[in-house]
Amino acid sequence: MKIAVCIKRVPDTETRIRIAGDGASIDETGVKFIINPYDEFAVEEALQRRDKAGGGEVVVIALGPDAGQETIRSVLAMGADRGVLLKAERIPADALAVAKALAAELKDGGYDLVLFGKMAADDYHHGVGPMVAELLDLPCVTAISKLELEGGKGVAEREIEGGVEVVEFALPAVLTAEKGLNTPRYPALKGIMAAKKKPIEIKPAALGEARAIVTSLSLPPDRKAGRIVGEGPDAVPELVRLLRTEAKVL
């Protein structure tokens, strides 16, 4: 089974955000970058599917600056076979521009499955995966938390408000992973050493024109400091009174 996993390098989700001088991006000084957490589920799924199929290839694809190689390397250490870095000075805020570059790379790859995380933890777009599917005219199921594949057909489950959708599709397909799909493995130390020898191909990203522009980035307004109503159960009546008369939410 030939599987592509598209990953993104994002600031650590616990990083304190500082706005850069341009007022439209974050100050990356001292920021630790990690693989987008949702992409780890996609990677794990790809590795399991390859191994279950008894062979094939897992190709990890990232778009962005050179530093993305380290993120690709971390996925190679988990067990992926080779990497592709679509080089761009920075990752555009326009999800469609990114999707076009990825679609161009994936188009003739002969992949049975193309996997993404359901969203990027930094820019919160849930868009690139399904956009790539549309551009390649492939079936797509997003935010899956369960997957069964059998003879070129698949059934996936995705959580919706108040329930779970059971979705059928045929391969090749694009799927985006939700937390809970599996438990991502740690890269074993042997894998880290082996990753050094695995190839990473670097080529320019054929980005679409960016037509969504970040004009500003700002910190959210602080919630005004609340108050401690009191200590212990005796404070409850006062809390209920405040919720009713002041906050008016009862």
Partner 1 sequence: MNVLAVTEQRDGALRKTSHEVVWAARLLADAMGGTVDALVLGAPGMDAAGAKLGEAGADRVLVAEDASFVKYAPCGYAATAAAVAKTGGYGVVLVAATAGGRDLAPRIAARLDAPLATDATGVSFADGKVTASRPVYAGRAIQQLRFDAPVAVISLRPNTFAPGSAGKAGTVSKVAAVTAARVVVREVKAAEPGKLDVAEASVVVSGGRGLKGPEHFALIENLARAFGSAAVGASRAVVDAGWRPHAEQVGQTGKTVSPQLYVAVGISGAIQHLAGMRTAKVIVAINKDKDAPIFQVADYGIVGDLFEIVPRLTEEIARARAG
Partner 2 sequence: MAPRFEGVDFYDVGSLLSEEERAVRDTVRQWVDDRLLPVINQHYLEGRFPLQLVPQMAELGLFGANLPEEYGCAGLNNVAYGLIMQELERGDSGVRSFASVQGALVMYPIHAFGSEEQRKTWLPKMASGEVIGCFGLTEPDFGSNPGGMITTAREAAGGWVLNGAKMWITNGSTAKVAIIWAKTGALDDASSIRGFIVPTDTPGFSAKDQKGKLSLRASDTSELVLEDVKLGKDALLPGSKGLKSPLSCLTQARYGIAWGAVGAAMGCYDEALRYAKQRVMFGKPIAGFQLQQQRLVEMLSEITKAQLLVLQLGRLKDQGKASPQQVSLAKRNNVDMACDIAREARRLLGANGILAEYSAMRHLANLESVYTYEGTHDMHTLILGEEITGIGAFE
Check binding of 30 to partner 1 (CB under 8 A): no
Q: Is 9 left (phi over 0), alpha (psi -120 to 50) or beta?
A: beta
Which partner in partner 2, partner 1, none is near 250 (CB below 5 to 8 A by kind)?
A: partner 1
List residues near partner 2 by CB under 8 A.
12, 14, 32, 70, 73-74, 77, 186-190, 192-193, 195-196
Which partner in partner 2, partner 1, none is near 77 (CB below 5 to 8 A by kind)?
A: partner 2
- The distance of Cα 206 from the centroid of its chain, to the nearest Å, equals 20
Using an 8 Å Cβ cutoff, are 152 and 160 in contact?
A: no
| C-alpha distance across the termini of the chain, in Å | 56
Check binding of 171 to partner 1 (CB under 8 A): no
Which residue, 165 or 201, is less far from partner 2 as judged by CB? 201
Q: Which has the closest alpha carbon to 208: 120, 86, 117? A: 86
Smallest separation, CB 43 to partner 1 (Å): 15
Check binding of 189 to partner 1 (CB under 8 A): no
CA dist 183 to 4, 9, 226, Å?
Answer: 19, 20, 38
Stretch in the footprint of partner 1 (CB under 8 A) among 48-56, 64-72, 128-136, 186-194: 128-136
Check binding of 76 to partner 1 (CB under 8 A): no
Give the pairing of strands 57-64 and 2-7.
parallel
Which partner in partner 2, partner 1, none is near 99 (CB below 5 to 8 A by kind)?
A: partner 1
Q: Which positions from 193 through 212 interact with partner 1, judged by CB under 8 A? A: 211-212
Which residue, 160 or 189, is less far from partner 1 as judged by CB? 160
Smallest separation, CB 8 to partner 1 (Å): 13
Single residue of 51, 110, 152, 164 touching partner 1 by CB under 8 A? 164
Which residue, 189 or 218, is less far from partner 1 as judged by CB? 218
Task: Quickly count: other Cβ atoms within 10 Å of residue 90's Cβ.
Answer: 8
Which partner in partner 1, partner 2, none is near 213 (CB below 5 to 8 A by kind)?
A: partner 1
Q: What SS3 string covers 30-52?
A: CCCEEECHHHHHHHHHHHHHHHH
Apex CA 210: angle with CA 206 and CA 213, to 5°? 150
Q: Kindly state the helix (H) or strand (E) to which residue 62 belongs, with its residue range.
A: strand 57-64
Smallest separation, CB 42 to partner 2 (Å): 18
CA dist 39 to 25, 120, 175, 230, 243, Å?
Answer: 22, 8, 11, 43, 41
